[in-house]
Amino acid sequence: MSNFPDEKAGSGLPPPNQACSFKINTYAHPNKVTGRFVRLFAASCIALVLFVGGRVLFQFRDLAPDAKYGELCPQADVLVPEKNGKLWDIVTDKFGTDSFKAQAVEWLGGAVRVPTESYDNMDVVGKDPRWEAFGPFHDYLLGAFPLVHSTLKLSKVNTYGLFYEWKGSNASLKPILLAAHQDVVPVVPTTVDKWTHPPYSGHFDGEKLWGRGSSDDKSGLIGILAAIESLLDNSFQPTRTVVLAFGFDEEASGTQGAGSLAPALEAVYGKDGFAFIVDEGSGFAEQHGSVFATPGIAEKGSIDVRIEVSAPGGHSSIPPRHTSIGMLAALLVQYEENPYKVFLGRRDPFYTTLQCVAEYAKALPSHFRKTIKKSVHSKKALEALQGLVLENPNYKSLVGTTQAIDLIQGGVKSNALPEQAWAVVNHRISVSSSVGEVRAHDTKLLKSLASKFNLTYNAFGSRISEEGASSSGSLTLSDAFHLGLEPAPVTPTGKDAAPYQLLSGTIKATYNSHRSLVGRDTINVAPGMMSGNTDTRYYWDLSSHIFRYNHHNSGKNSNALGGIHTVNEFIEIDSFLEMIRFFATLILNADESRSL
């Protein structure tokens, strides 16, 4: 790629080193006229070079104070195993065979056929019998992956958390941690007849494998085990230790699963004990004419705010002006009429994503590309870019703090005034904000209405209204489930961030290998942003390098989630095979690296 702006865009300005590229033999005509001509011509060339160079430098300055054109999103080279190159060739060739495809279908289909639902209201392990569903799943894994279970050390944490250790020969190398979760979102009984194939059938139609968990996240869990089983089948013994951690209640916030696995892992490996962590997350898709992989380097925080209104009861034939439900309704309208303001800052991970899109997306509209690039230095351009982001609901949700009213309840009978009504508002907190800021925002937002309805106002353990004042009831804000989560630390992605470079090179190698391609520019890697949360919320102390990435193919539509959390969940089997290839390549590349 050229280092000079607008060279291909028709600016009419040649690069400085070509401004006077035609040749004159200054010794062919040694008369004074010719000498004056040569001196004049040389002076003109110098002036032109300075002018053009000044234009280029000026454009560099507008582009970024500390980055040259083409360096706003540096790309790692394709990283193919070298020491283990022969083994990599053998296993990746095997991944392309019909016999392995059939094995992969059976592995994942069998996992889907064991229901492992987790619920928000489950009691602790040992008290709630619904956890017992994970016992049969463990039995299935034991039978499906005999080499894994005869070679790796398996410890069970809090009964159903799975902690595997594949011991490496060099104890001085930090291990890597590959994570996934065993549980799935429950299938609503009234929706079963809407599934193309029964939700726990694991049906394979020749292209897609159907069923709850086929994509989220048994594909990741089985993909990891399939990769390791295949490496073991070819007698691979790692130099660097590989650790697996499979929680069992990620869909219910992970307190019992990853919440128990994290301290167990820290007890063995210590704080910052892992070179990097890879858990479920994003994949790759075509965007604006180019393919981008977007490993999640950060996650939003979250808090569920419970808004509870209490008021005197009574017979509904003698109603007050506002019932508790009526007041709650007004409070919720106040929320929806006052969404959080979205601010796009240069330190926001999604801003880095946009820089990569501007650098490599072939079909990105020119005004969008120019706005993104100028925004590195120009405040006006940054404000314009923020406006463009706000026009896209998906982009907007990745940047700002969001709010969604998800639960509501009130009243017990049609002729009785409701003594209590409550709702829960789910917030996903911007990486530039905090739980404290959200609490303060919500407290201030509802203060005027608490006064209007003459309610005693308490918010997050503090009394807001004056003590001793008469009231018609109370308004209470609280953390609904006591699970307020700060935004995750942002994973480093610079040239010196060895784990990110290794992951990027592995992504490129996997993508090319699966398609028999050669070259480095077939897929671009851009730091991504997670709008939801994963089990990695419990693993922050285990590594500074956490990636939420499964290498699944999202196709041309980056929102094609394959029925995740709804009816007709599925995964393309070709995508699943590529995931297995990714995990095998990642393990081999990490095993060879000495820079992690």
pLDDT digits (tens, 9 = 90+) for 202-248: 999 999 999 999 999 999 999 999 999 999 999 999 999 999 999 99
Cα–Cα distance measured from residue 149 to residue 168, given in angstroms and rounded to the nearest whole number: 16
What is the rounded average pLDDT of the residues 577-589? 98
Which stretch of DSSP H or E encloses residue 59?
A: helix 32-63
Neighbours of 205 (CB within 10 A): 11
When pLDDT is averaged across residues 401-418 and rounded to a whole number, the result is 96
183 an active-site residue? Answer: yes
pLDDT attached to residue 561:
54
Identify the top-confidence range among 10-14, 479-483, 540-544: 540-544
Taking 60 as the threshold, does the pLDDT of residue 399 lie above it? yes
CA distance 100 to 219: 15
Only one residue has tokens 């996992």, namely 111
Per-residue pLDDT, 471: 83
Question: If phi over 0 gives left and psi between -120 and 50 gives alpha, with beta otherwise, what is residue 460?
Answer: left
The Cα 557–Cα 391 span in angstroms is: 18
* CATH class of the 85-299+489-592 domain in this structure: alpha beta
Residue 250 annotated in active site: yes
Give the residue ranges of DSSP H helices in 240-323: 258-269
CATH of span 301-479: 3.30.70.360
Task: Return the closest-CA partner of residue 481 out of 541, 407, 418.
Answer: 407
**499 three-class SS:** helix
Residues 6+ away with beta carbon under 8 Å from 553 = 283, 284, 285, 572, 574, 575, 578
Q: Can you tell me the distance from the alpha carbon of 464 to that of 443, in angstroms, rounded to the nearest whole number?
A: 8
User: Do residues 506 and 471 touch, judged by C-beta distance below 8 A?
Assistant: no
Please report how the helices 366-374 and 349-360 are oriented relative to each other, as an axis angle in degrees rounded to 10: 130
Q: What is the pLDDT of residues 137-189, one digit of tens each?
A: 999 999 999 999 999 999 999 999 999 999 999 999 999 999 999 999 999 99
Which residues, in sequence order, are bridge partners of residue 422? 308, 409
**Judging by beta carbons within 10 Å of its beta carbon (0-12, 13-18, 19+), is residue 256 exposed, middle or buried?**
buried
Binding site listing for Zn(2+): 181, 216, 251, 279, 565
Q: Are 187 and 199 in contact (CB under 8 A)?
A: yes
CA distance 303 to 402: 10
Structure tokens of 43? 């002076």
Residue 569 scores a pLDDT above 60: yes
Residue 208's closest CA among 552, 572, 560? 572
Tell me how many degrees the CA angle 158-534-435 measures, rounded to the nearest 5.
Answer: 105
Q: Determine the pLDDT at residue 559.
A: 38
Distance CA 64, CA 373 (A): 8
CB neighbours of 301 closer than 8 A, spacing ≥ 6? 428, 429, 431, 433, 434, 435, 484, 485, 486, 487, 488
Residues in the chain: 596
Contacts of 17 (CB under 8 A, 6+ apart): none
85-108 tens-digit pLDDT: 999 999 999 999 999 999 999 999
Residue 209: strand pairing partners: 204, 571
Residue with the bigger pLDDT between 362 and 39: it is 362
Rounded to 10 degrees, what is the CA torsion of 390, 392, 397, 403? Answer: 70
Specify the pLDDT at position 55.
36
Between 70 and 585, the more confident residue is: 585
Helices (H), 424-572: 435-452, 498-515
**Residue 288, Ramachandran bin (φ over 0: left; ψ between -120 and 50: alpha; else beta):** left
> Would you state the pLDDT for residue 151?
98
CB 488 within 8 A of CB 540: yes
Q: Which residue has the tokens 């007698």?
A: 235
- Give the three-class secondary structure for 102: helix
Q: What is the pLDDT of residue 467?
A: 79
Q: What percent of the chain has pLDDT over 70?
A: 86
Residue 585, token pair as written in the block: 């390549």
What pLDDT is attached to residue 175? 98
Give per-residue pLDDT as tens, 510-555: 999 999 998 767 999 999 998 789 999 999 999 999 999 999 998 7
* Res 121: pLDDT: 87
Instruction: Give the C-alpha separation, 153 to 151, whole Å.
Output: 7
Out of 117, 183, 280, 572, pick the active-site residue.
183
| β-bridge mates for residue 184, sequence order | 117
Identity of the amino acid at 170: N
Mean pLDDT, residues 406-425: 96
Q: What is the pLDDT of residue 469?
A: 67
Q: In the predicted model, what is the mean pLDDT of the chain?
A: 88
Given a cut of 70, is residue 287 above it in pLDDT? yes
Sheet of 301-310: strands edge to edge?
Answer: 402-410, 420-429, 301-310, 473-479, 455-459, 462-463
Written as six digits, the tokens of 426 are 């789910």
CB-based contact 221:201 (threshold 8 Å): no
Q: Is the pLDDT of residue 59 over 80?
A: no
Burial zone of 469 (CB within 10 Å; 0-12 exposed, 13-18 middle, 19+ buried): exposed
Tell me the Ramachandran region of residue 206: left when phi exceeds 0, alpha when psi lies from -120 to 50, beta otherwise. Answer: left
pLDDT value at 333 more than 80: yes
Binding-site residues, in ranges, read: 181, 216, 251, 279, 565
Angstrom distance (rounded) from CA 61 to CA 5: 11
**Is the pLDDT score of 60 beyond 80?**
no
Separation CA 378–CA 129 (nearest Å)? 59
Instruction: Look at residue 49 and tell me whether its pLDDT is greater than 50.
Output: no
Give the separation between CA 508 and CA 295, rounded to whole angstroms: 12
| Predicted pLDDT of residue 306 | 98
Q: What is the pLDDT of residues 248-273, one digit of tens each?
A: 999 999 999 999 999 999 999 999 99
Least confident of 22-26, 196-200, 254-258, 584-588: 22-26
| Confidence class for position 377, pLDDT limits 50, 70, 90 | very high
**Which residue in the list 217, 229, 250, 348 is annotated as catalytic?**
250
